């Protein structure tokens, strides 16, 4: 039985209360409250929530690794790890919206939707029941559909929201079908009991079990942006409000990975399924298609959207080899935390550029290093960290990911080729990251400095400290990853 002080319940209480109150306050004040007023309240709620997650870790009140339980949610280190990553991105999005929302109406509804979506993302990571996971999934998805189309009079935003909603509804239907099969085969929706039930299935029922696992991969693959479930992503990122792209790229993708690890990867282990090659092929396709498409983009939001697809492929390397290397899941979790900061900072930098200069075409970014020096520097550091350039934090997570593929080479002959594909794709990504850096620093001679949004500058400074600090001294973050990594065995089943 969960205690009232457990992390998921406290986060629901804090973010849910504030998220519901913000529109009510707006109605009571007849929208007299300024954008800053609502933003500060949302920011405070996220800070308190993150502080509580950190407090629970410091007091050792969480289970040391991902466990299954009879309750619908469990307060474990795995869920806490994802909660911190998602709350960081939600904070980035909220702070990055300070200036952006000054030009738009309904700030109370906007920040309320961010908080409600964050509850859904966090609950996905903590869920140990398929029905609870689906409810959390929808709580995450529905507010983001609205946020993507928040600029109602903008045709591009409307198109992005429609594409996102249609693909999202399809993915939800696929997940529900997978849940129905799992319940029909095992008589339970508890994830631990479902996985145990799968391990003792009659051989004649195994095809249906395989189908349910495949449906989960397809449904979650939509949010993760895996090929071939990625078609919605570039258009949605281009048309969404600039700060919301950070929430989509750096946070909602993580919910997909959290669900995949809890259900699919652990299910693979107990079912003794050889899905590793299929996941490896998807990883290579996702990395390669994402990077090649990114090189051809002229819009910076679309470029980083395809880059985000490529990074889903990197993370999938660790999941593909997880049953054969202890470094697999660790590398994936490490990359997930780094990616939350790297991609979140990059998209918030774009939000600052859009708010200040109203440009997104890469050719219009000439001389950005002189016009917006702090934003440009933060963006470049985030991009180089995404490419895995030392001594930034992204280097170590990619090293662990590619090392896990090499480590699995004794059991999987093709695993080292995953590492080679990852290294080649990382080198390929430097082509467009370097091109963007060249535009910002080595082209354009007459540009004058403009006033940068202070909120965006703050995020650039914080993200730079994170990426450089944990790049120079990665030990604390690596230990945190080791604590949160689940044990791939039946020993943790209820």
Per-residue pLDDT band for 493 (boundaries 50, 70, 90) equals: very low
Q: Are 161 and 148 in contact (CB under 8 A)?
A: yes
Whether pLDDT at 273 is above 70: no
Q: How many CB atoms lie within 10 A of CB 386?
A: 28
Q: Are 231 and 221 in contact (CB under 8 A)?
A: no
Burial class of residue 398, CB neighbours in 10 A (0-12, 13-18, 19+):
buried
Q: Which pLDDT does position 490 carry in this prediction?
A: 41
What's the mean pLDDT when you consider all of the chain? 86
Mean pLDDT of 421-449: 85
Best CA proximity match to 460, nearest among 372, 307, 384, 349: 349
Mean pLDDT of 275-281: 82
pLDDT digits (tens, 9 = 90+) for 381-414: 999 999 888 889 989 999 999 998 998 888 888 8
Q: Where are the domains of the chain?
A: 274-485
Whether pLDDT at 29 is above 80: no
CA angle 330, 332, 243 (to 5 degrees): 130
CA angle 326, 328, 329 (to 5 degrees): 90
Whether pLDDT at 7 is above 60: yes
Whether pLDDT at 450 is above 50: yes
Per-residue pLDDT band for 492 (boundaries 50, 70, 90) equals: very low
Structure tokens at 203: 């051989």
Instruction: Give the Cα separation of 247 and 344 in Å (integer).
Output: 7
Residue 255's Cα: distance from chain center in Å?
A: 6
Instruction: Give the Cα separation of 294 and 305 in Å (integer).
Output: 8
Instruction: Give the Cα separation of 11 and 5 in Å (integer).
Output: 10
94, 332, 401, 410, 443 from 405: Cα distances, Å: 37, 11, 7, 10, 40
Per-residue pLDDT band for 367 (boundaries 50, 70, 90) equals: confident
pTM, two decimal places: 0.91
Best CA proximity match to 419, nearest among 280, 324, 312: 280
Instruction: Give the Cα separation of 105 and 32 in Å (integer).
Output: 11
Best CA proximity match to 260, nearest among 292, 283, 284: 283
Whether pLDDT at 423 is above 50: yes
Per-residue pLDDT band for 201 (boundaries 50, 70, 90) equals: confident
Best CA proximity match to 308, nearest among 389, 209, 220, 225: 225
Q: What is the full DSSP assignment across 177-231?
A: HHHHHHHHHHS--BHHHHHHHHHT--GGGHHHHHHHHHHHHHHHHHHHT-TTS-T
CA torsion, ordered 246, 251, 253, 255, to nearest 10 deg: -160
pLDDT digits (tens, 9 = 90+) for 296-339: 888 888 899 899 899 999 999 988 888 788 888 899 999 999 99
Q: Which pLDDT does position 108 carry in this prediction?
A: 87
Whether pLDDT at 2 is above 70: no
For 456, phi and psi rounded to 5 degrees? -70, -40
Whether pLDDT at 32 is above 60: no
No. of helices (H) and no. of strands (E), the chain? 21, 0
Orientation angle between helical segments 107-126 and 77-100, nearest 10 degrees: 170
Mean pLDDT of 419-437: 90
Best CA proximity match to 304, nearest among 238, 243, 240, 393: 238
């Amino acid at each position: 039985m969960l205690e009232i002080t457990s992390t998921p319940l406290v986060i629901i209480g804090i973010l849910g209360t504030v998220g519901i109150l913000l529109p009510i306050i707006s109605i009571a004040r007849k929208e007299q409250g300024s954008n800053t007023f609502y933003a500060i309240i949302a920011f405070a709620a996220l800070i308190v929530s993150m502080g509580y997650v950190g407090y629970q870790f410091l007091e050792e009140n969480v289970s040391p690794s991902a466990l299954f339980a009879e309750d619908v949610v469990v307060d474990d280190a795995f869920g806490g790890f994802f909660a911190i990553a998602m709350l960081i991105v939600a904070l980035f999005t909220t702070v990055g919206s300070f200036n952006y929302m000054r030009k738009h109406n309904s700030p109370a509804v906007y920040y309320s939707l961010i908080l409600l979506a964050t509850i859904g993302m966090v609950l996905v990571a903590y869920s140990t029941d398929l029905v609870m996971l689906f409810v959390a999934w929808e709580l995450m998805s529905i507010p983001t559909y609205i946020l993507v189309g928040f600029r109602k009079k903008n045709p591009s935003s409307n198109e992005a929201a429609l594409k996102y909603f249609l693909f999202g509804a399809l993915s939800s239907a696929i997940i529900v079908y997978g849940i129905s099969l799992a319940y029909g085969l095992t008589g339970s929706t508890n994830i631990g009991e479902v996985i145990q039930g799968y391990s003792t299935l009659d051989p004649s029922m195994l095809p249906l079990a395989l189908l349910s696992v495949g449906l989960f991969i397809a449904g979650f693959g939509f949010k993760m942006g895996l090929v071939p479930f990625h078609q919605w992503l570039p258009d949605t990122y281009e048309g969404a409000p600039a700060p919301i792209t950070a929430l989509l790229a750096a946070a909602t993708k993580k919910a997909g990975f959290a669900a995949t690890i809890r259900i699919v990867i652990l299910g693979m282990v107990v079912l003794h399924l050889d899905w590793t090659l299929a996941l490896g092929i998807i990883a290579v396709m996702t990395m390669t298609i994402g990077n090649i498409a990114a090189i051809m983009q002229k819009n910076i939001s679309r470029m980083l959207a395809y880059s985000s697809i490529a990074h889903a492929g990197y993370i999938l390397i660790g999941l593909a080899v997880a049953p054969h290397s202890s470094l697999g899941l660790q590398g994936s979790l490490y990359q997930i935390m780094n990616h939350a900061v790297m991609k979140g900072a990059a998209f918030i930098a774009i939000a600052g550029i859009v708010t200040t200069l109203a440009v997104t075409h890469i050719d219009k970014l000439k001389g950005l290093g002189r016009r917006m020096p702090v934003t440009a520097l933060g963006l470049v550091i985030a991009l180089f960290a995404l490419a895995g350039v030392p001594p930034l934090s992204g280097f170590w997570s990619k090293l662990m990911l590619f090392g896990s593929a090499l480590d699995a080479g004794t059991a999987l002959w093709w695993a080292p080729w995953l590492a080679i594909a990852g290294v080649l794709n990382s080198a390929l990504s430097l082509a467009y990251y370097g091109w963007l850096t060249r535009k910002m620093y080595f082209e354009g001679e007459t540009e004058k400095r403009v006033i940068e949004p202070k909120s965006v500058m703050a995020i650039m400074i914080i993200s730079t400290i994170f990426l450089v600090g944990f790049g120079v001294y990665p030990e604390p973050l690596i230990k945190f990853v080791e604590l949160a990594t689940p044990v791939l065995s039946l020993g943790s089943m209820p």
